[in-house]
Each structure stands twice: as C-alpha cells, then as structure tokens.
Amino acid sequence: MKIPFEPVWFGYEINIHLVLEYLAFFIGYRYYAFLRKRNVDRIITINRLSIILGAAIGAFLGSRIVGFLENPVFISDFKSIIDLFNTKTIMGGLFGGLLGVEIAKKIIGERESSGDLFTFPIILGIFIGRIGCFLSGTNEFTYGEATSFFLGMNLGDNIQRHPIALYELVFLVVLFLFLKKLQSKNLPNGLLFQYFMISYFAFRFFIEFIKPNHFFVAGISSIQILCLICLLYYHKTILNLFVKNAS
C-alpha cells in the first residue's frame, strides 16, 4: 500500500483521514454510551449532557486555537478562512474540552469528577484518528523529521522519516492496557482521567522533539507549551505520585 493512501471508490477520491476522523467520533461516543450503561454514573443525565456540551464547545475552540498557533494561517481570501477553520489539533481539543467541562460544571454546580467515563473512549477515538493520520502520510502534519533510524519510513515525499503516528498508536495501546490495570484498583473518582491526561501530554511533549516544527517560543513548539500548561494544571496529582512512590 502506498502512503499517502488515497483510495478511489466509485470514481471518487476518498479523504481517508476525514473518514476515520468521523468514525473516531462515532465509535468513541458509542463506546462511552456502552460504558455508561455498565457503570454507576454519579452524575445525573441532564448534568452529564451539559458536561458533554461544554466539552464539545471547548474542544472545538481549543483545537482551532492551538492548531492556528502551531501553524499560523494568514487570512487573505475566502480559501484562507476555510484553511483557518480546518486547522486543528487533538491537543488543543483535549485541553479545550477539559476547560469546557470545568466551566460547564461551575455553571450547573456539579462537583463530582466527570472524566473517568470519557477516558477509554477518548483513547479509542485518538487511536482510530491516528490511523487516518498515518495513512495520510505527509498530507497531515503528524510525520517526523528525516532519520536514518531503522523505523524510518517513506511517508509520501521519498524521505525516510519518523512515523510519529505509528509511535503514538503503540503508546496508546500500552496506555490503554496500563490504565485498565489501574482501574481495577478502585482509584478515587476522577484520578483515572488525570493519569491519562498527564501520560498523554507528557508523551506528546517529548515526541514533538522529533517533529519538524517551524514555530517556536523559547525553543519549544506551541504544542509543547500547551503540554507544560497541562502538566502544571495537574501538578498536585503529579506531586502526589512522587510522594506516594517515595513513601
């Protein structure tokens, strides 16, 4: 199979990344609904719907804002407006969704942690989306720098590059299994989601060093700055981990 993978079905060239992106949303939500039925949800339905709405709005705005900061698009015509709308990143979506949830909970007065039920559906959704990123090759900015490393691949520009999307797929499988094991230990409510965010944002911070970024502040990319902000947001959880391991 040639990368980028651009299948033609019934005479039409298919954007495989877009197809898998929508599939990720659909399957991720169905997995969430499945888990909610099998678990006791401490949050009433109307509040849960408000939280989902807050997450969706926050994710939409966050993904576009951070996507723009990662790869600024200068508005000059209608096409550049469309490009601005389509410029997005999962990192901004995750952190924007987190802020959207916290704002929604403040508005409705909900105090229960709400993230644990979303944890595994989010991982599954990212996994499906990253398959689309890999198949899109250099058409999506999820490829790595040129390398002589034995895992280097031609992703469409005849240059051996780090297949970052594949690295992330492996990481997500390991993270999924690790969190499943932790889940069986009856963690305090909300801690599972925090561990996911800390692990994923830490991984993305380091993987960015082998990505050909062009826009830097203080020597690091906008995504890495967001990763540091997220880790700072969860600094109490991180400190508790070190204190627990030391004791």
Q: Is 226 inside any structural domain?
A: yes
pLDDT given at position 184: 83
Q: 161: left (phi > 0), else alpha (psi -120 to 50), else beta?
A: beta
Count structural domains, the chain: 1
Q: Is 102 inside any structural domain?
A: no
Q: Is 93 inside any structural domain?
A: no
Check if the beta carbon of residue 6 is closer than 8 Å to that of residue 16.
Answer: yes
Q: Which residues are bridge partners to 153 per DSSP? A: 161
The rounded distance, in Å, linking the Cα atoms of 158 and 154 is 5
Q: Is 91 inside any structural domain?
A: no
pLDDT given at position 2: 82
The upper half-sphere exposure of residue 54, i.e. CA atoms within 13 Å in the direction of its Cβ, equals: 21
SS3 55: helix
Walk along the chain (247 residues) and give the pLDDT tens digit of each residue.
788 888 888 888 888 888 999 999 999 999 999 998 888 777 888 888 898 899 999 988 888 888 777 766 555 555 555 555 556 788 888 999 999 999 999 999 888 777 888 999 999 999 999 999 999 998 888 889 999 999 999 998 999 999 999 999 999 999 999 999 998 888 888 899 999 999 999 999 999 999 988 777 778 888 999 999 999 999 999 998 877 665 5
DSSP per-residue codes, 189-219: TTHHHHHHHHHHHHHHHHHGGGS----EETT
pLDDT given at position 241: 81
User: What is the domain range of residue 229?
Assistant: 8-42+112-246
Q: Is 103 inside any structural domain?
A: no
pLDDT given at position 214: 74
